[in-house]
Amino acid sequence: MTKSKTEKRTLYDKIWDAHVVREAKDEPSILYIDLHMIHEVTSPQAFTGLETRGLSVRRPDRTVATMDHSVPSIDRGVFPWLDALAQKQVEMLAANCKKYGITLHDLKSAHQGIVHVIGPELGLTQPGKTIVCGDSHTSTQGAFGALAFGIGTSEVEHVLATQCLLQHKTKSMAITINGTLKPGVFSKDIILRIINEIGIGGGTGYTLEYRGSAIEKLSMEARMTICNMSIEAGARAGMIAPDETTIEYLLKRVKFKSDAERKQAVEEWRGWKSDEGAAFDKKVVIDADSIEPMVTWGTNPGMSVGITGVIPNGGNEEIVGALEYMGLKAGQKMQGQPVDYVFIGSCTNSRIEDLRIASKIMNGKMIAKGITAFVVPGSQEVKHKAEEEGLHEVFLSAGCEWREPGCSMCIAMNGDMVPAGKYCASTSNRNFIGRQGKGARTFLMSPAMAALAALEGRIEDIREYI
């Protein structure tokens, strides 16, 4: 329910209150959606449903589409589709966008990319907005102080038809990271540590707000990595209140008609923050100094350990099963663990800052013998910028593959996959069984750690190399 004006409100309360169209006892609230992003995999059935009902898209101007999940990451001049189904999905998206007048950033567009990477780049992701997409990592965009979350295909259809969603309000959790990260520790390590602490179901029923001095020091790219993986703790959404870093990013991206309009927007953006003393249902505090470079050893993102740690002893059948799948043993050290593949990419870590960090580590060096390394920028804009800075040359001379933007080896829908039984050091978000390909074994880590793993052919401690 909306809160009264006199109550102290969280950022989540404020965005919620500003978007309630209707609320009634024992019924979900009707929440207005400012921005709806769609892609090829979770939208076709929604458009079909719309047609069956004889409905149209209520606000094509609030809907933006791109192609990312099943698109090939190699030469787009040739279009080597994995199969006819993947091609059909993409063609259906194009046809639906044309029919309903929805802006589509297709494979020829300079703005094509992973949906959660392009939203912020296009200046569409702004503080105080409600943003949804048929993809669980929509929470990425909460880094701008927006309420952004993933929805299913029925809900995609619902938003297309009504520009609203039926929602029950979640509880709120404040996650405070105080202090300063040690060199070699990045935002990916913060979020892996959080998930390790609260558990992969620890955020279920909550919207998370990340705060504290360590968060405030992060760039927008780094903040997006944290919010991106909110869903890996089970949370509906994750958000960070906008500050000067946010505003600086937005002013480069958002288009304004006048100076007055710009000033007004900045003023409004600054207001999107939790009131001092606003109550949260749960609070978690972590000291940034205590965070090590993290690496997962198991089959969900909570099964992780600091690089100097060892795999915990299997106390339950889930751990036993995970270790069997991973071919690892309890008590084993992760440092020194060999890898076969390296994937630098995904909506978690494919932005320009991630590529800069990885290229700095690979600069002038070669990846280890027998390693296959993919570097997949998150968008055409990231790719273009990286090429302008010569980062692609670093990766190519090191022996990596430099690919076209998309989800690629994170979800392995386009043919980019890790073979069964092989180990992959990956900057993506999920180490689920079979996620990167049937039988593939994933180690999640930061781009710096993944780049180092590519050079060494095994997992090493980045702090010893910088």
Partner 1 sequence: MAKEKFQNFTSRLVPLRMDNVDTDQIIPARYLKATDKKGFGEHLFQDLRFNEDGTPKPDFPLNKPHYKGAQILLARENFGCGSSREHAPWALLGYGFKAIIAASFADIFRNNASKNGLLLIELPYQDVDQMHGDVLENPEREAFVNLAEDTLIWKGQPYTFPNNPFTKKMLLEGLDDIGYTLSFAKDIDAFEKNKK
Span interacting with partner 1, options 79-87, 241-249, 343-351, 360-368, rule CB under 8 A: 79-87
Dist CA 231 CA 249 (whole Å) = 24
Which residues on neighbouring strands pair with residue 26, listed in sequence order?
A: none
Span interacting with partner 1, options 37-45, 110-118, 171-179, 346-354, rule CB under 8 A: 37-45
Residue 181 CB neighbours (<10 A):
18
Dist CA 84 CA 289 (whole Å) = 50
Which residues, including other chains, have CB under 8 Å from residue 234's CB and lie 6 or more apart?
199, 200, 201, 202, 203, 204, 205
Decide: is 157 part of the binding site for partner 1 (CB under 8 A): yes
**Residue 347 is assigned to a ligand binding site:** yes
Q: Which of 302, 304, 336, 131 is nearest to 231 (CA)?
A: 302
Residue 12 CB neighbours (<10 A):
25
Span interacting with partner 1, options 87-95, 110-118, 270-278, 381-389, rule CB under 8 A: 87-95
**Residue 400 is assigned to a ligand binding site:** no
Decide: is 438 part of the binding site for partner 1 (CB under 8 A): yes
* DSSP, residue by residue, 132-180: EESSGGGGGGGGGT-EEEE--HHHHHHHHHHSEEEEPPPEEEEEEEES-
Candidates 74, 161, 284, 310; binder of partner 1 (CB under 8 A) is 161
Decide: is 408 part of the binding site for partner 1 (CB under 8 A): no
Decide: is 70 part of the binding site for partner 1 (CB under 8 A): yes
Strands 206-211 and 294-296: unpaired
Site string for partner 1, 187-226 (x = CB under 8 A): -------------xx--xx---------------------
> If DSSP codes are grouped into helix, strand and coil, which group holds residue 295?
strand
Residue spans of beta strands (DSSP E) within 168-316: 171-178, 206-211, 237-239, 282-287, 294-296, 304-306
Give the angle 126-130-135 at the CA atoms, nearest 5°.
Answer: 100
Decide: is 163 part of the binding site for partner 1 (CB under 8 A): yes
Decide: is 135 part of the binding site for partner 1 (CB under 8 A): yes
Candidates 2, 3, 30, 182; binder of partner 1 (CB under 8 A) is 30
Closer CB to partner 1, 55 or 396, in the complex = 55
Dist CA 33 CA 338 (whole Å) = 46
Decide: is 150 part of the binding site for partner 1 (CB under 8 A): yes
Dist CA 453 CA 460 (whole Å) = 6
Which residues on neighbouring strands pair with residue 180, listed in sequence order?
A: none
Decide: is 263 part of the binding site for partner 1 (CB under 8 A): no
Number of residues counted as binding partner 1 (CB under 8 A): 61
Span interacting with partner 1, options 4-12, 48-56, 112-120, 175-183, rule CB under 8 A: 48-56
Q: Which residues bind partner 1 (CB under 8 A)?
A: 21-22, 26-28, 30, 32, 41-42, 44-45, 48, 52-53, 55, 58, 69-70, 83, 85-86, 88-89, 92, 134-136, 150-155, 157-158, 161-164, 166, 168, 200-201, 204-205, 231, 234-236, 300, 318, 321, 411-413, 430, 432-435, 438
Binding site residues for [4Fe-4S] cluster, as ranges? 347, 407, 410
